[in-house]
Structure 1
Amino acid sequence: MSRAEKKLSAGAAKGLSKPGRWSDGGGLYLSISADGRSKSWVYLFRWKGNAREMGLGTYPLISLAEARERRDHWRKVQLTGHNPIEARRALPGSMPTFGECATRFITSMSSQWRSEKHKGEWQALEEHAKLLWPMPVNHIDMAAVPAVLNPIWETKRETASRLRGRIEAVLNYAKLTPSGPGRTRQHGVAISPMCCQPAKI
């Protein structure tokens, strides 16, 4: 790996708190939530001319070194002519991302929503919950969801409350899918409606 692809250090990853995405090179980014409380690794790449985003796990659960190893693995998969996201999805026991579950849930429920406004609000879920979108559902913990809600909880309480309900609905749906986590635990975290509570400030 070239030096240009090692822009971050373990100390820098720990110390960064400014919201945004911080590049380590080679498509690996440390994504920091709007309130600076939650961090996750993402691999950004292009597939058939389109920008794609692949979640690699939350920080510090996944270290910088581990994130680089995961990025390298999926980049090699891409170089063999396979879409890394589809390849991971095809693995036995693979866990769907929040975005995948949300898309399936919205598709399955849209025929029951008569209000165009209601449909539009659900379609905007990706914009409001973009931090969660690439994350495997079993990696969404007590820090990830509040990181989405807290920036708007005090100023847009009703919007935040509705957003919390939609996130909770998707997580509950994820439990029921054949490839979902159900009641199992991953890294000591269980998917629970409690994940959807905003942090007290």
Structure 2
Amino acid sequence: MRLRHKPWATEEIAKHPSIVVPNPGEYRGKWSELFGNDNPIHVEVGTGKGQFLTGMGQAHPEINYIGIEKYDSVIVSAMQRVKDAEIENVKFLNDDVNELTSFFADEEIDRIYINFTDPWPKNRHEKRRLTYKSFLAMYESVLKPQSEIHFKTDNQGLFEYSLHSFSKYGLILNNVSLDLHNSDVEGNIMTEYEEKFSNKGMRIYRCEAQYR
């Protein structure tokens, strides 16, 4: 994906600290204080333009959502979606997922979403895949025991790799779907990519991977 540079994005993001949280490390272990409640916290890594989290936030006001996206030219669109929707249970971090443990304390998160991440198809780039074992270990440290990763992709190769990676790490696979939009899964909220790919008739793969 080629990103369209928006030189004004950084300045615009800075105007909305209640949506895109500056200095998120300051809230490590204290996110419930920022949200003003003790509701579960769900995190999406690589949140893109925010269609998924905005939809989830509207559908589930009893849950707090945090999206992580390192590109300011992308997250500015997510910020605008949340602003327009006038919801308070969705926040964003304009940061890199590799810094996850700097932002969240041990067992602070209830669920992680990985949606349509870069497949990094070349073998030499395996360690960059967000379902690689080092990422799974990082997620485990911030997730509560027996929490889940919810994973969606259009890429069959990445899906097969991820199922193997989850299983090898010891996660329990639940609700594995090889064709999400022709399955009985209820309450699915689509991402921008999911909507685009499904409109082209492409198959969407999904699974839930639970830590023991």
Give the TM-score of the pair, scaled to structure 2.
0.30
Higher helix share: 1
Structure possessing the higher relative contact order (Cα contacts under 8 Å, 6 or more residues apart): 2
Higher strand share: 2
Give the TM-score of the pair, scaled to structure 1.
0.31
